């Protein structure tokens, strides 16, 4: 009896079912390969089209799968225009500041709500849960931002989405899972609540913080609707609004109109999209190891 046969019998005895045969495993592999291709091919087309020459784009009818003579002319034209460079800096600033403030506020609020004896614990928790079910709507939010004097301000891109009820519940579930003996020992040593949060809770909550930071970073980086509502000055546009304006409306705002040679519109569109994807692609691998652990916090009890 071979080792593979023994292993199959052991699996069948444990699970009570026959393990899949070679045809079924091959079918599963084919399905997974097809799914991967469906995801990767559009991404490859975007990169290839952004690097393709005008002749290749015309010959391919608009989009190129594999460029024969790759060129960075589209990227050079975009960054020479200055609009994308400025919008990229705006998006980076909004993402970094917004994510940092959001993680700080969410962690402090979640820690307060995780302490049963805190002031107004239950009413505040109900308010947080209420925001997960109902929202004020676009017009009340606009009137609120206007009344606060935040129109055409960078703060209008940060403050309206600073706190998420889901993220507060996620962090609260983690803080509740921390053994009570740790905080009791810290209080006996004379530590206050802020010191307990900074010295004990936050170092133990790296997975939850990574998940909350990733959620906020992706949300702030991809947000453009708040900019459409609240930002009037073109120089304050974030990158996603530039992507939307150029890719959807076809406005030639992203390139230098005085340039002698302007790359095809398809190359410019794909180049702007690739630029908007690069920061998230660079950050996600460093947070991915915490992501799977963080999203299941509080899912298992006992």
Q: For the chain, which residues make up each domain, given as ranges?
A: 18-71, 76-295
Name which of 196, 164, 202 is nearest 183 in CA terms.
196
Q: pLDDT tens-digit profile of 209-230?
A: 888 888 888 889 988 888 888 9
Q: pLDDT tens-digit profile of 105-145?
A: 999 988 888 887 777 878 888 888 888 888 878 888 889 88
| H or E, element range at 175 | helix 165-177
The answer to whether the CB of 212 falls within 8 A of the CB of 165 is: no
Residues of the chain with pLDDT under 50: 1, 301-302
The answer to whether the CB of 128 falls within 8 A of the CB of 169 is: yes
Which option is the CATH number for 76-295: 3.40.50.720, 3.30.1120.10, 1.10.3720.10, 1.10.150.650? 1.10.3720.10
Measure the CA–CA gap between 224 and 91, rounded to whole angstroms: 10
């Amino acid at each position: 009896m071979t080792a593979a046969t023994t292993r199959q019998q052991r699996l069948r005895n444990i699970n009570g079912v026959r393990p899949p045969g070679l045809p079924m495993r091959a079918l599963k592999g084919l399905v997974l390969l097809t799914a991967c291709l469906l995801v990767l091919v559009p991404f490859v087309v975007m990169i290839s089209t952004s690097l393709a020459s005008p002749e290749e784009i015309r010959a391919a009818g608009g989009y190129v799968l594999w460029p024969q003579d790759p060129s960075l002319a589209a990227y050079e034209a975009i960054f020479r225009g200055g609009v994308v460079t400025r919008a990229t800096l705006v998006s980076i600033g909004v993402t970094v500041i917004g994510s940092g403030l959001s993680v700080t506020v969410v962690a402090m609020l979640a820690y307060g709500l995780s302490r049963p004896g805190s002031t107004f614990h239950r009413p505040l928790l109900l308010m947080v849960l209420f925001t997960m079910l109902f929202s004020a709507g676009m017009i009340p939010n606009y009137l609120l931002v206007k009344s606060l004097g935040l129109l055409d301000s960078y703060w209008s891109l940060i403050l309206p989405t600073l706190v998420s009820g889901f993220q507060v519940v996620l962090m609260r579930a983690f803080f509740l899972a921390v053994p009570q003996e740790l905080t009791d020992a810290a209080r006996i040593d004379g530590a206050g609540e802020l010191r307990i949060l900074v010295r004990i809770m936050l170092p133990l909550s790296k997975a939850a913080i990574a998940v909350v930071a990733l959620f906020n970073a992706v949300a702030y980086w991809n947000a453009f609707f708040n900019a459409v509502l609240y930002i009037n000055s073109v120089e304050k546009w974030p990158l996603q609004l530039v992507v939307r304006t150029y890719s959807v409306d076809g406005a030639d705002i992203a390139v230098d109109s005085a340039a002698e040679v302007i790359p095809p519109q398809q190359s410019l569109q794909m180049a702007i999209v690739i630029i908007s994807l690069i920061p998230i692609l660079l950050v996600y691998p460093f947070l991915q190891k915490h992501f799977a652990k963080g999203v299941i916090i509080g899912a298992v009890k006992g």
